[in-house]
Amino acid sequence: IVTAYRQRTPGSADLARQAADLLPSGITHDARHVDPYGIYVARAQGPHKWDVDGNRYVDFFGGHGALILGHGHPTVAAAIAEAAAEGSQFGASHPREIGWARAIQRLIPSAERVRFTNSGTEATLMAVRLARAFTGRSTLLRFKGHFHGWHDHMTSGYSNHFDGSPTPGVLQGIADKTVLVSPGDIDAVAAVLKTNPDIAAIILEPTGSSFGQVPLKPEFLHGLRALTQAHGALLIFDEVVTGFRTSRGGAQVAFGIRPDLSSFAKIVAGGMPGAAVAGRKDILDLLDFAAAAAAGREKIGHPGTFNANPVSAAAGIAALTILAETDANDVASARAAELRAGLNEVLTQERVPWAVYGTTSGFHLFMNPQGRDITPATFDPHAASMDELKAQPAQLSARMRLAMLVNGVDLNPRLGGFTSAAHQASDIADTVAAFRESIRMLRAE
Ligand code: PMP
Q: How do residues 258-308 score in pLDDT, each as one tens digit?
A: 999 999 999 999 999 999 999 999 999 999 999 999 999 999 999 999 999
Tell whether 101 and 227 lie within a shared domain: yes
* Residues 192 and 47 grouped into a single domain: no
For the stretch 308-344, pLDDT in tens is: 999 999 999 999 999 999 999 999 999 999 999 999 9
Comparing CA positions, the residue from 253, 234, 237, 233 lying closest to residue 245 is: 253
Residue where a domain stops, chosen among 275, 309, 325:
325
- Distance of alpha carbon 239 from alpha carbon 335, whole angstroms: 21
Instruction: Determine the pLDDT at residue 394.
Output: 86
405 CA → ligand 1 middle, Å: 25
Nearest CA, atom 5, ligand 1: 241
Q: Give yes or no: residues 176 and 228 share one domain.
A: yes
How does pLDDT run across 142-171, given as a tens digit for each residue?
A: 999 999 999 999 999 988 899 999 999 999
Window from 25-34, 82-91, 315-324 with minimum mean pLDDT: 25-34
Q: How far is the CA of 199 from the centre of ligand 1 (A)?
A: 23
Count of domains forming the chain: 2
Considering the domain architecture, whether residues 332 and 309 belong to the same structural domain is answered as no
Residue 422 sits in a domain of what CATH number?
3.90.1150.10
Give which of 159, 223, 216, 218 is closest to 381, Cα–Cα: 216
On average, the pLDDT of the chain sits at 97
CA of 241 to the centre of ligand 1 (A): 7
Asked if residue 125 and residue 13 are part of one domain, the reply reads: no
Residue nearest to atom 12 of ligand 1 (CA): 120
The verdict on 83 and 152 lying in the same domain is yes
Q: At what angle do helices 310-325 and 95-107 cross, to 10 degrees?
A: 30
Q: With a 6 A CB cut-off, is 64 part of the ligand 1 pocket?
A: yes
Mark whether 347 and 315 lie in a shared domain. no
Closest-CA residue, ligand 1 atom 7, reads 149
**Size of the chain in residues:** 445
Domain that residue 57 falls in: 2-71+327-444
Domain end marker among 261, 296, 325: 325
Q: State residue 126's pLDDT score.
A: 98
- Residue 320 to residues 33, 368, 423: CA-CA distances in angstroms? 31, 37, 18
Query: Residue 51: CB within 6 Å of ligand 1?
Result: no
**120 alpha carbon – ligand 1 mean position (Å):** 5
What's the average model confidence in pLDDT over 92-100? Answer: 98
What does the pLDDT read at residue 354? 97
Q: How far apart are CA 423 and CA 44, in angstroms?
A: 13
Alpha-carbon dihedral angle through residues 170, 176, 178, 180, given to the nearest 10 degrees: 100
Residue 200, domain CATH: 3.40.640.10
> Within a 13 Å sphere around the CA of 79, how many CA atoms are in the beta-carbon half?
25
Tell how far the Cα of 264 is from the centroid of ligand 1, in angstroms. Answer: 9
Q: What are phi and psi of 142, to 5 degrees?
A: -130, 170
Domain boundary, last residue among 290, 325, 360: 325
Over residues 352-376, mean pLDDT: 96
Percent of the chain whose predicted confidence (pLDDT) is above 90: 96
Q: Are residues 64 and 91 in the same domain?
A: no
Specify whether 218 is located in the same domain as 113: yes
Query: Beta-carbon neighbour count of residue 349 at 10 Å?
Result: 10
What pLDDT is recorded for position 404? 98
Tell me: pLDDT of 189 over 90: yes
One domain for residues 41 and 134: no
> Do 355 and 291 belong to one domain?
no
Say if residue 165 is in the same domain as residue 21.
no
Average pLDDT over residues 177-190: 98
Q: Locate the DSSP E strands across 54-126.
A: 56-59, 113-117
